[in-house]
Copies of this chain bind each other. A is one copy, B any other.
Amino acid sequence: MTVEKVLEFSDVVIVYDNFPAVAGATFSVNAGEIVLLQGANGAGKTTLLRACAGLLPIARGSANVLGCDLRLDRLAVRSRVGLLGHANGLFQDLTVLENMLFWSRLVGATRNDVDQAMDAMGLSGRLSETQVAKLSAGQRRRCALASLIVRRAQLWLLDEPHAGLDAQGRDELDRTLRAARDAGATVIFASHEIERASALATRSLVVASGTVKPA
């Protein structure tokens, strides 16, 4: 099997009203990799990840994700990627279980998938009936991860996934990402905890001032 490119960015520029947060990024990711994006605060990691998910317009350059050209159609890629941003994307008034069931209905996952994901993230039992607004910060992050797991995306994009998780949660997360990779998915994640993240990643990229270099 020849190596398949999951993502290919070349000279990509992304602007927020006139400020080029990403200023000419060129890199590519192969299927089955776990890629770490590291870099200083404000380097452009979040911007890159959101762009990969088709959320931001590409001002210049060419960007190709899972075979879709982002400059032509940012929507096509959406149903095949999963994004965990800085925010969790949960409904505060619903319970953990209700949130999970909502997302699972949208993506067509089964109840079994939901139970497994919640188990993995330690959310079964009392917590599953708790409203998200009444969870601790780390528990909310776990819930967001669980709802990402049921999506079974082909490309996982995670923005500082370890932040807020306790030791056991971190281990579980690493296990989950490795399992997803083994099942054929590709993972790109940003992190500031270099040691832990490097151990997980198969390759590191450094984002600096809106450009991407190998570590």
Contact = CB atoms under 8 A, between A and B. Distances in A.
A215 interface: no
A72 interface: no
Contacts of A24: none
Nearest to A137: B86
Interface in A129-169: 134-139, 141-142, 160, 163-169
Interface string A81-100: 00000100000000000000
A204 to B, nearest CB: 13
A9 to B, nearest CB: 19
How many copies of this kind of chain does the complex include? 2
A182 interface: no
A102 interface: no
Contacts of A160: 137, 163-164
A41 B134 contact: no
A122 B42 CA distance: 11
Interface residues of A, number: 32
A192 B164 contact: yes
A127 B127 CA distance: 40
Interface string A22-41: 00000000000000000111
B138 A42 contact: yes
B41 A142 contact: yes
Given A163-B164, A164-B163, A41 B136 contact: yes
A205 to B, nearest CB: 15
Nearest to A45: B136
A137 B168 contact: no
B193 A136 contact: no
A186 interface: no
B192 A42 contact: no
Given A41-B166, A167-B194, 5 more contacts: A40-B138, A164-B192, A166-B192, A167-B192, A170-B192
Which 4 residue pairs spanning A and B have beta carbons closest together? A41-B138, A163-B163, A42-B136, A40-B166
